[in-house]
Amino acid sequence: MRYIPITCEQREAMLRAVGISEVNELFVDIPESVRLTGGLDIPSGMGEIELTSHLRALADRNRSASTLVSFMGAGCYDHHIPSVVDHVMRRPEFFTAYTPYQPEVSQGTLQAIFEYQTGICELTGMDVANASMYDGATAFVEAAFMAARVKKRTKIVVSSAIHPHWRRTLETYADAGVIEPVFVDCDGDVTSLQGIREAVVGAAAVMVASPNIFGCIENLAEIGEIVHEAGALFVVASNPVLLAVMEPPASFGADIVVGEGQSLGSAMSFGGPGLGFFACATRLVRSMPGRLVGRTVDIDGNEAYVLTLSTREQHIRREKATSNICSNHALNALAAGVYLAAVGTEGLSAIARACIAKAHYLRTRLLEVDGFSAYGDTAFGYEFAMRFNGDVATMQRTLLSRGFLAGVNLGSLDAAFDGVVLFAVTEKRTRFEIDSFVEEVASL
Amino acid sequence: MTEQLAHTPGGAPNRGPREAIYELGGAESTCVLPPELDVPEVVLDEALGGVARTRALSLPHVTELEIMRHYSHLADMNFGVDSGFYPLGSCTMKYNPRVNEDACRLEGFSGVHPLQSTETVQGALELMYRLQEALAEISGLPGVTLQPAAGAHGELTALMCFRAAHTASGDPRKKVVIPDTAHGTNPASVTMCGYDTVTIPSGPDGLVDLAALKAALDTDTAAFMLTNPNTVGLFDPQILEITEAVHAVGAYAYCDGANMNAILGKTRPGDMGFDALHINLHKTFSTPHGGGGPGAGPVCVTPELAEYLPSPIVALLDDGTFVPHDPSRTIGRVRSFFGNFGVLVRAYTYVRALGGEGLTEVAEQAVLSANYLKERLKTAYDLPYDRVCMHEFVLSGGRLKREYGVRTLDVAKRLLDHGFHPPTVYFPQIVDEALMIEPTETEPLSALDAFADALIAIAHEAATHPDTLHSAPHTTPVRRLDEARAAREPILRWTAPEK
């Protein structure tokens, strides 16, 4: 295929206008020894029919959630995406636009993001949300960097009950020495409060996920008190669907709230692009990473939206910026805004309640059959961990052959969690599917 | 004023401000609800251990039609590549092919969970492997990670690899050198990676000042970061001397690949002596910018650095299966899962659609179109670097400012009235009143000519009706904004008006 509209005749005319006879004369600044004369060793281009069947063949070599019954989560969830979400995202005025640096012709993106920011503030209870980060893991890391900046301390106390990918990401970023994470052990299926008390001295922040990697709800009220007594910032990672029915972190004194927002209208898409959401208290806004949309007026006095507080950002502050982020996940934020409008307060609460009820139903049923036992007994949302008495990978392979994605093998993410399986149940799962799954588990 | 505005062309989208979605609908309006519960209800507060929500939650309450009308109105106030010419320098706003959009939405791609067992995701892993191979060939750097979510993320990832490699050889270093024409993300990434930034001035020709570079380089230098072609649109002919000088002090040469569109199939950063490069798939490889993202910023490195790449990369086993693989001395993860896979699908689709010859033609036409526009505009505006350019060039509006008090910002805003997106303005900072213009290869000649005509007309208008420019734009959904007020009294979310 070819997306170049210039004809041969026009090309000749353009060459003449530039005063050359051959296009290679434009590449004379490239030293001769490194000019590529033999072309690229990449197969010839394909027409649309060929190309589409090639891609379809690749796609067909994957088994998607639509052909399997999935109980997988761990940061990527099989929620229903209302049709309207993709129809809005496919409006080319949104997806073919650049960052809204020219506000006069970007009011669409700007207002949509402003409304997204509002939705995240509503869910988290925080004052301010930015226009998005890459994903939950990088939003979490940025929160650690921000806390270190605000408190002028490097020590960051982090729960061990966070997603292993987030932990590894944080450790990678920490190698630069800007932050020094100290991990607090678990007490069963939650973070050890005693561990936090011991580690918090001199820390810039304490960071926990609630629900945590086991799906369990942490005691945010108590942790918040410990953190603030020590003069550190309280960073909480949360699940945005659950926040519809769960007291938001702001009520427990959270200073920064982050999380993975893929559940809000983005496809699983093999794990990306998802959506990192990032919210904080007003007093911290000038230390925040990422873009922010604000409301103002134009010279005629009309209400309008614009990127604001940009002096925090890399294109202005360069090495003193609050982050290096430039491209973010604006289109996923737009999707989240449309999603929140499509489900509304009542819909999101009902979805959360359905997920919780179905997850509790599955857990109760699994406890009745051999093989699985409780990992802990802390309250959870719609994801829960269980111990499996046997080889997890073999069990999952068998159930896959019967059409089920039997949870996430936490041991494959972190050897410390060997033998632990994490199940997520979304509103899409039916009682029939859950019952069938339990029957298959019982027959193992 | 009215008379002056008689020349204002129409055509720009023109729908005025819109109420917030929170103000629409009725209290009982709903759009999508979950099915009836088919399992026993739970008592929420009990299930959640006593933390059921007590704080009010106020999301929109609208019907599907209201959603579509709302976002249609917002879309009408937005300008995308499909709306018109978008010559934003260093951003490569080329056409976003629709087959890419269909490909990433195939259920076998969009509906796959990243933690499924590898035998159930062979197609996804193969696509990633093939894309790694293509990017290795294009860059001349055989180690490829597709993990970074954006260009800046790629820069940081590469710097982390440098740090790890220097540390492993017992030679940790403290600083990174950049030219004053560098994108802001470069120094910001340097800081996040715990290095100090040393900025060197460019030469009067807009190129690297080799003497200044050599003076800044020492054995405490971890890397030199260079965009090549650079941000004034020039390919630095001293490139081999530059990378040699960098290597002479044991530092790494980093290429910011934002401008790869100019050199596809013509030359390769690996051959020039660069050790690492990031590629913006949302620029060169036609994936959409999405109003700010998501993009993807794969990093390509030398074999020596490949063992430090973040985990996982995709490997092909002898038996023909594709597996995620952790490089032997990996720096670790830089994000969750496998990268922005949906973006990778689009880029792979583009590579296969064009093939090697098609990609080379992209660079040739992008460079020719830029040079053509440069020739058409170089008398109406000042051209600080009058030589062959690559895929973009920088003009200066300095003369208009001196003679008529018209600034580049005014020119940019007036372009909006003509139905064009303005070029990148005030960057790079070494050019007074800069206008950085990148037409891309996908624009028809008629669009290039119409844009040149408009910019020339605006330059004349600056002499005759400067006030029309000062107050531009006149035809857009909103006019110039009070940005100072937005920053002074930030309103960052919608709140219900007090009754």
Span B100-353 CATH architecture: 3-Layer(aba) Sandwich (3.40)
Q: Is the pLDDT of residue A316 over 90?
A: no
Q: Alpha-carbon distance A198 to A201, whole Å? A: 7
Q: Is residue A111 part of a domain?
A: yes
Q: Is A107 on the interface with B (CB under 8 A)?
A: yes
Q: What is the pLDDT of residues B151-201, one digit of tens each?
A: 999 999 999 999 999 999 999 999 999 999 999 999 999 999 999 999 999
- Using only the alpha carbons of chain B, give its radius of gyration: 25
Confidence of residue B6 (pLDDT cuts 50, 70, 90): very low
Inter-chain touch B342–A64, beta carbons under 8 Å:
no
**CATH code for position A201:** 3.40.640.10
Do residues A240 and A363 both lie within one domain? no
- Mean pLDDT over residues B468-475, rounded? 96
Confidence of residue B107 (pLDDT cuts 50, 70, 90): very high
Do residues A186 and A119 both lie within one domain? yes
In terms of Cα–Cα distance, which of B216, B219, B207, B212 is closest to B248? Answer: B219
Lowest mean pLDDT among A349-363, B14-28, B252-266, B403-417: B14-28
Task: Please tell me which of the candidates B20, B335, B493 has its beta carbon nearest to residue A134.
Answer: B335
- For residue B5, the model assigns a pLDDT of 57
Identity at B21, one-letter amino acid code = I
Do residues A249 and A378 both lie within one domain? no
A404 with A71: CB under 8 angstroms?
A: yes
B356 with A42: CB under 8 angstroms?
A: yes
Q: Is residue A29 part of a domain?
A: no
Q: What is the pLDDT of residues A247-271, one digit of tens each?
A: 999 999 999 999 999 999 999 999 9
Q: Is the pLDDT of residue B116 over 90?
A: yes
Q: Which residues of B touch A212 (CB under 8 A)?
A: none
Do residues A209 and A290 both lie within one domain? yes
Burial of A9 (0-12, 13-18, 19+ CB in 10 A): exposed
Q: Cis ω on the peptide bond leading into residue B179 (within 30° of 0)? A: no
Provide the percentage of residues in chain A whose pLDDT is more than 90: 98
- For residue B29, the model assigns a pLDDT of 87
The structure tokens listed for B27 are 């209290």
Distance from CA of B450 to the nearest CA of A (A): 15
Confidence of residue A34 (pLDDT cuts 50, 70, 90): very high
Q: Is A182 on the interface with B (CB under 8 A)?
A: no
Confidence of residue A66 (pLDDT cuts 50, 70, 90): confident
Q: Alpha-carbon distance B491 to A306, whole Å? A: 10
Q: Is the pLDDT of residue A433 over 70?
A: yes
Q: Is residue A15 part of a domain?
A: no
The residue written with tokens 């301390």 in the block is A153
- Mean pLDDT over residues A151-161, rounded? 98
What CATH code is assigned to B364-485? Answer: 3.90.1150.10
Q: Is the pLDDT of residue B2 over 80?
A: no
Confidence of residue B72 (pLDDT cuts 50, 70, 90): very high
Q: Is residue A119 part of a domain?
A: yes
Confidence of residue B499 (pLDDT cuts 50, 70, 90): low
- For residue A306, the enclosing domain spans 83-338
Do residues A261 and A357 both lie within one domain? no
DSSP notation for B408-437? HHHHHHHHHHTT----EES-STTSTTEEEE
- For residue A429, the model assigns a pLDDT of 98
**B residues 201-230 lying closer than 8 A (beta carbon) to A:** none
Q: Which residues of A touch B333 (CB under 8 A)?
A: 137, 165, 168-169, 172
Query: A180: helix, coil or strand?
Result: strand
Confidence of residue B497 (pLDDT cuts 50, 70, 90): confident
Residue A105: phi and psi, rounded to 5, are -120, 25
Q: Which of A300, A323, A338 is the last residue of a domain?
A: A338
Contacts with B65 (C-beta within 8 Å, 6 or more apart), sequence order: none
Inter-chain touch A272–B76, beta carbons under 8 Å:
no
Query: What ipTM is given for this predicted complex?
Result: 0.98
Do residues A418 and A330 both lie within one domain? no
Confidence of residue A328 (pLDDT cuts 50, 70, 90): very high
Do residues A260 and A317 both lie within one domain? yes
Distance from CA of A361 to the nearest CA of B (A): 7
Do residues A90 and A76 both lie within one domain? no
Q: What is the pLDDT of residues A104-140, one digit of tens each?
A: 999 999 999 999 999 999 999 999 999 999 999 999 9
CA angle B269, B272, B277 (to 5 degrees): 30
In terms of Cα–Cα distance, which of B15, B36, B32, B20 is closest to B83? Answer: B15
Q: Is A284 on the interface with B (CB under 8 A)?
A: no
Do residues A96 and A125 both lie within one domain? yes
Task: Please tell me which of the candidates B74, B445, B482 has its beta carbon nearest to residue A111.
Answer: B74
Q: Which of A338, A366, A384 is the last residue of a domain?
A: A338
Q: CA dist B465 to A290, B7, B422, B452, B471, Å?
A: 39, 11, 20, 19, 11
Q: Alpha-carbon distance B83 to B91, whole Å? A: 16
Count residue pairs from A and B with Cβ separation < 8 A.
Answer: 727
DSSP notation for A189-203? TEE-HHHHHHH-TT-
Contacts with B44 (C-beta within 8 Å, 6 or more apart), sequence order: A245, A353, A356, B52
Per the prediction, chain A carries an average pLDDT of 97
**CATH code for position A378:** 3.90.1150.10
- For residue B8, the model assigns a pLDDT of 62
What pTM was computed for the model? Answer: 0.97
Which one of B74, B159, B449 would you mutate to disrupt binding with A, by most A Cβ within 10 Å of its Cβ? B74
- Mean pLDDT over residues B356-367, rounded? 98
Do residues A243 and A363 both lie within one domain? no
Q: Which of A288, A308, A338 is the last residue of a domain?
A: A338
The structure tokens listed for B300 are 């390509």
For residue A194, list its beta bridge partners: none
Burial of A53 (0-12, 13-18, 19+ CB in 10 A): exposed
3-class SS letters over A228-295: HHCCCEEEEECCCCHHHCECCHHHHCCCEEEEECCCCCCCCHHHCCCCEEEEECHHHHHHCCCCCEEE
- Mean pLDDT over residues A48-61, rounded? 98
Inter-chain touch B78–A354, beta carbons under 8 Å:
no
Q: Is the pLDDT of residue B7 over 90?
A: no
A277 with A120: CB under 8 angstroms?
A: yes
- Mean pLDDT over residues B91-101, rounded? 98
B147 with B156: CB under 8 angstroms?
A: no
Provide the percentage of residues in chain A whose pLDDT is more than 70: 100
- For residue B14, the model assigns a pLDDT of 63
Strands B299-301 and B276-279: antiparallel
Do residues A246 and A366 both lie within one domain? no
Query: Which residues of chain B does CATH 3.40.640.10 include?
Result: 100-353
Q: Alpha-carbon distance B383 to B387, whole Å? A: 9
Q: Is residue A48 part of a domain?
A: no
As for how many domains chain A has, the answer is 2
Distance from CA of A198 to the nearest CA of B (A): 25
- Mean pLDDT over residues A84-95, rounded? 98
Q: Alpha-carbon distance B475 to B417, whole Å? A: 6
A270 with B341: CB under 8 angstroms?
A: yes
Q: Is the pLDDT of residue B11 over 60?
A: no
Q: Is the pLDDT of residue A311 over 80?
A: yes
Q: Is the pLDDT of residue B421 over 90?
A: yes
Query: Which residues of chain B does CATH 3.90.1150.10 include?
Result: 364-485
- Mean pLDDT over residues A392-418, rounded? 96
Q: What is the pLDDT of residues B17-28, one digit of tens each?
A: 889 999 999 888
- Widest CA span of chain B, in angstroms? 78
- Mean pLDDT over residues A316-340, rounded? 95
Strands A128-129 and A276-280: antiparallel
Inter-chain touch B83–A132, beta carbons under 8 Å:
no
Confidence of residue B498 (pLDDT cuts 50, 70, 90): confident
Q: Alpha-carbon distance A229 to B308, whole Å? A: 41
Q: Is residue A4 part of a domain?
A: no
Confidence of residue B1 (pLDDT cuts 50, 70, 90): very low
